[in-house]
Chain A
């Protein structure tokens, strides 16, 4: 029976492998269709080609006009700057604050450390949109000196500071979770040895733990950059000046009132996706480890 079965199982596993590959291949193709269609569309004329022949027809002629026009009309470069104005300070603050919380909660045993850890982690589970209304009012009623913002709205609402604050508030939870799990894997003895040598808590954090967490920071920075860069919602609802919006929300300007040139929008989307793509390709290793970091708690 065993001999018979093994012959069968070889056939089985071949069939299985074939099926798996067929399924994965189909999914991969299905996944690629919209992207390839967008990429191809971005190089096609709209009125005289796509609109007449349909998105899935073979292009008659290719052009870079869409890219030129999207770059100009969408003022991509300017809005890219606005995005960076939000993303870079947010990223810095998120990593700084979450590493502090993670350090205090994972390296020390005190009355509320688990409570705080749970609080920060649970914050991740809340859909951000639900607190939009109260937050809107808080921002509106918080006076903010014009000198501290580039848009003189008088209140926090309408400033990029507001967007940075909300990003910091929401992303700190996830980063705390990841960093505390990572810090738990660093042997306790390192901290004890430092303490014996007379290092203060701050010094242990700054000179021992932070340098050791560099891989976790790299992974988180890659992930967070993509998430913050891709944020559409907060930029659109908190910034009332069209010219101040981050690139993802500002691109809607390419939608016409009655008509939309989808090839133009595709070209703009391609340009907008480039920075995240570049970050991903350059830091691929960190990106993947970032997603699994904290998945296996030490």
Chain B
């Protein structure tokens, strides 16, 4: 165990140095110009690179949704390199990654933080610190999220998307609701919604992951980001009063939930939000992808706010924003080509091309264009900018197996029978012992 505790980037590090939207926009022109420069210089490098530069690089992609695959192709085309894309559907890619990484493509898609460190630690991906030397537009925070326990970089971040409480602007305006920033305001708003005949909180947990986001938020608001990281790292007891407090706070919200949480898909809950049957919905910003082109009015009407503060000591300092990006295989067929591809994907040009096709995410590169951002993207950048800490999501911040089989199961059990929480937590603590968290 090396002493270095992984920390998610703080926003100033992430490059949103508590920037207001105006400054962000003001810097957009500069950024756009810089993006162009970075892009051309990448192309030049490749052409004059000779040797490995000309030959093909293979790219293992989990961007399998039609829009995503089109977007990643645009990003790769923008690098001007010769790349062969191997697309595997998102879920299979993730589930099979252990075997896939034993015979991988040169550059592979993956997640920042704990998930990356697990494979860096096993020595199945390459140290790409030299690529990072050529990524001046990646802030220190993203660098930390890309750094293994040995202090070397193994990951190039591409984009992120935050989790927040979504609502319909029109509903809030009609009923005169205001955005709650404290727990008491939040509960009061829920009561008000009940009085108005609206179910306050959309709640889904089909697949076992959507409610993990709720746990993360309540834990970070109740006990702070450091405790959350420590708990995820297996260093705290799940029977601790602090953890019990999380579930006590959570129980207070259950009265406002849609019933039968465990069986509902997140899409069903999103549809309920779209129909104004529910008032608020904690989910990633991908919630809008539930609505198709015919429902643009709903998409435009959706906004979000940061999860309200519980303990004033921690305020709203933490936000959940998973980062996606790329790693390099242990011994790629085309080492030089893979490194130049990673460098180019870390540049502003690639993510600009991606967002040009699929504007559901926010660029990791601080020089990426922001003038094309829609309202939700701007807000995403803002909410991450206002936060002090960024977590990656429960199943990315701890052993994925522990997250799914132990914590995920515990959350399901809690939701179906909140009264059993003490024995549920003892079970988690018991099962935790079989995991090494390394």
Where the two chains meet, the residues of A that have a C-beta atom closer than 8 Å to any C-beta of B are 47-48, 51-52, 73, 136, 140, 153, 155, 157-158, 236-237, 240-243, 249, 252-259
Contact = CB atoms under 8 A, between A and B. Distances in A.
B267 A259 contact: yes
10 contacts: A52-B271, A241-B86, A242-B86, A243-B87, A253-B87, A254-B89, A256-B90, A257-B64, A257-B68, A259-B267
A253 B271 contact: no
Contacts of B87: 242-243, 253
B289 A258 contact: yes
B102 interface: yes
Contacts, number: 69
Nearest to A152: B333
Nearest to A46: B292
B286 interface: yes
Best-buried of A158, A237, A241, A243 by chain B (most CB within 10 Å): A241
Contacts of A243: 86-87
Given A242-B88, A253-B89, A258-B266, A73 B66 contact: yes
Contacts of B66: 73
Nearest to B275: A52
B294 interface: yes
B99 A242 contact: no
A252 B103 contact: no
Given A157-B103, A257-B286, 12 more contacts: A51-B267, A236-B92, A240-B99, A243-B86, A249-B92, A253-B88, A253-B89, A255-B90, A257-B62, A257-B68, A257-B90, A259-B267
A259 B62 CA distance: 15
B150 interface: no
B103 A259 contact: no
Contact of B65 (A237, A252, A256): A256
A240 to B, nearest CB: 5
A256 B286 CA distance: 12
A48 B294 contact: yes
Interface string B253-286: 0000000000000111001000000000000101
B93 to A, nearest CB: 8
A258 B286 CA distance: 8
A129 to B, nearest CB: 13
Contacts of A140: 102-103
A200 B24 CA distance: 88
Contacts of B105: 240
B249 interface: no
A136 B98 CA distance: 12
Nearest to A259: B267
B337 interface: no
Contact of A153 (B103, B267, B294): B103
A252 B89 contact: yes
Contacts of A153: 103
B220 to A, nearest CB: 22
Contact of B103 (A47, A155, A258): A155
Please give me the 3 A-B residue pairs with the lowest Cβ-Cβ distance, nearest first. A242-B88, A253-B89, A257-B90
B64 A240 contact: no
B103 A237 contact: no
A158 B92 contact: no
A152 B377 CA distance: 41
Contacts of A157: 102-103
